[in-house]
């Protein structure tokens, strides 16, 4: 918890997504005068929900879970009885079949054929032996996965999925792999494939939570807490300039519906994209503009299908790593909360 400040000087938070709203909530509850500035009309960013065709829809599949001590307690305290606990149900589409995920050798090996199965086994063996002798630290996502799982698993699952979601795995940071892929490597994966070891909680927890009424309930509840504690939230508001005194930001100039406003602050907290913040900090800087232009972003394309059937699959989501599919995951909104769509669709 943030320690109280005797001065209680005003704080401006740029961005009304979950990060910005969470910061504002803690500050406001601790007595700080807080103003949140959000450019969009809706709060939550990609964690928000919207209405269409009688459905409450999320911006792709989201879940609530954390191994960081205290986080789940905070979430439970915020959402209370509006948290739905789900036992995770996932599958993966590989080699023309839907397989349970995480994979097991029992359902994977019959699909591989003898040659590919042998190659997969050799890849595992190489990764296992590599862990017993000295090896250099991996410098990329690709090297990280190869060292831990072998080329067979890498080419079957991790490489094509990385291309779809993030880009060239040879250019991706090793930190991304460490954050998104089990670190135990081939030894633990083999034990899990043989079902000789249960999935570890931090890698593949068997359950997760989802807010009743759509994932957007999460940021909405955060916003309600900010307002209840006396904080102010501005939507459809664009930050235009930062006013500085002796190098420190002392006010944010914003525009809402054509109306300009100066919001004084002693502290500025930003949760907006780096490019947007850089332009506010250094307006008109040609060199900075050139640097910002070098930042490459990944587009997220979401396709929503309305089908005349109450439920299509029993899974929460299904992974599609293979190159033949132009998408990476299938997700059914009503699998999270049956009340999010009309009956029969």
Whole-number Å distance between alpha carbons of 23 and 35: 11
Confidence at residue 131, expressed as pLDDT on a 0 to 100 scale: 57
Per-residue pLDDT tens over the stretch 43-96: 999 999 999 999 999 999 999 998 888 999 999 999 999 999 999 999 999 989
Domain boundaries, the chain: 11-62+215-293, 103-198
Angle at alpha carbon of residue 304, lines to 303 and 309, rounded to 5° = 140
Higher pLDDT, 338 or 108: 338
Instruction: Indicate whether 1 pLDDT > 50.
Output: no
CATH for 103-198, options being 2.60.40, 1.10.10, 1.10.3110, 3.10.20: 1.10.3110
Q: Which of 45-49, 96-100, 106-110 has the lowest mean pLDDT?
A: 106-110
Confidence at residue 4, expressed as pLDDT on a 0 to 100 scale: 45
Instruction: Indicate whether 329 pLDDT > 80.
Output: yes
Alpha helices in the chain (DSSP H): 18-29, 71-79, 105-130, 141-153, 159-165, 174-180, 186-193, 201-204, 217-228, 274-281, 286-293
Confidence at residue 189, expressed as pLDDT on a 0 to 100 scale: 55
Instruction: Indicate whether 2 pLDDT > 80.
Output: no
Task: Report DSSP letters for 127-158, one per residue.
Answer: HHHHTTS--PPP-SHHHHHHHHHHHHHIIIII
Instruction: Indicate whether 97 pLDDT > 70.
Output: yes
Instruction: Indicate whether 174 pLDDT > 80.
Output: yes
Confidence at residue 5, expressed as pLDDT on a 0 to 100 scale: 52
Q: What are phi and psi of 307, to 5 degrees?
A: -120, 140
Kindly state the average pLDDT of the residues 298-314: 92
Per-residue pLDDT tens over the stretch 6-40: 568 999 999 999 999 999 999 999 999 999 999 99
**One fold for both 11-62+215-293 and 103-198?**
no
Instruction: Indicate whether 209 pLDDT > 80.
Output: yes
Whole-number Å distance between alpha carbons of 18 and 3: 22
CATH class of 11-62+215-293: alpha beta
Bridge-based pairing of strands 267-270 and 11-14 is parallel
Share of the chain above pLDDT 70, in %: 87
Instruction: Indicate whether 123 pLDDT > 80.
Output: no
- Most trustworthy range by pLDDT among 107-111, 150-154, 208-212, 295-299: 208-212
Confidence at residue 3, expressed as pLDDT on a 0 to 100 scale: 47
pTM of the model: 0.86
Q: Which two tokens stand for residue 172?
A: 């991706």
Whole-number Å distance between alpha carbons of 190 and 121: 10
Instruction: Indicate whether 149 pLDDT > 80.
Output: no
Confidence at residue 98, expressed as pLDDT on a 0 to 100 scale: 93
pLDDT confidence tier of residue 135, bands split at 50, 70 and 90: low
Per-residue pLDDT tens over the stretch 218-255: 999 999 999 999 999 999 999 999 999 998 999 999 99
Angstrom distances, CA of residue 158 to CA of 138, 145, 243: 16, 8, 47
């Amino acid at each position: 918890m943030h320690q109280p400040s005797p001065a209680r000087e005003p704080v401006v938070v740029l961005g009304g997504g979950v990060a910005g709203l969470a910061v504002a909530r803690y500050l406001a509850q601790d007595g700080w005068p807080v103003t949140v500035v959000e450019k969009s009309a809706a709060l939550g960013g990609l964690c928000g929900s919207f209405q269409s065709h009688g459905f409450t829809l999320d911006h792709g599949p989201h879940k609530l879970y954390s191994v960081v001590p205290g986080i789940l307690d905070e979430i439970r305290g915020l959402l209370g009885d509006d948290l739905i606990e789900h036992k995770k149900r996932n599958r993966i589409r590989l080699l023309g079949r839907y397989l349970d995920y995480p994979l097991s050798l029992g359902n994977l090996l019959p699909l591989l054929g003898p040659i590919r199965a042998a190659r997969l086994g050799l890849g595992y063996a190489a990764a296992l032996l590599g862990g017993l002798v000295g090896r250099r630290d991996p410098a990329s996502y690709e090297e990280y996965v190869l060292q831990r799982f072998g080329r067979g698993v890498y080419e079957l699952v991790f490489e094509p999925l990385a291309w779809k979601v993030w880009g060239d795995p040879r250019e991706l940071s090793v930190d991304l792999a460490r954050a998104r892929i089990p670190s135990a490597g081939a030894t633990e994966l083999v034990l899990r494939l043989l079902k000789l070891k249960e999935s570890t909680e931090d890698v593949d927890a068997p359950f997760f939570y989802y807010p009743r009424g759509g994932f957007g309930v999460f940021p909405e509840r955060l916003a309600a807490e900010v307002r209840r504690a006396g904080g102010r939230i501005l939507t459809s508001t664009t930050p235009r300039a930062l006013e500085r005194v002796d190098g420190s930001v002392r006010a944010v100039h914003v525009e809402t519906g054509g109306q300009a406003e100066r919001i004084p602050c002693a502290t500025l907290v930003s949760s907006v994209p780096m490019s947007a913040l850089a332009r506010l900090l250094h307006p008109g800087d040609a060199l900075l503009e050139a640097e910002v232009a070098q930042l490459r972003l990944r587009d997220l394309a979401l396709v929503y299908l309305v089908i005349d059937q109450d439920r299509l699959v029993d899974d929460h989501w299904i992974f599609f790593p293979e190159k033949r599919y132009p998408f990476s995951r299938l997700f059914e909104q009503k699998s999270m909360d049956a009340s999010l769509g009309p009956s029969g669709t």
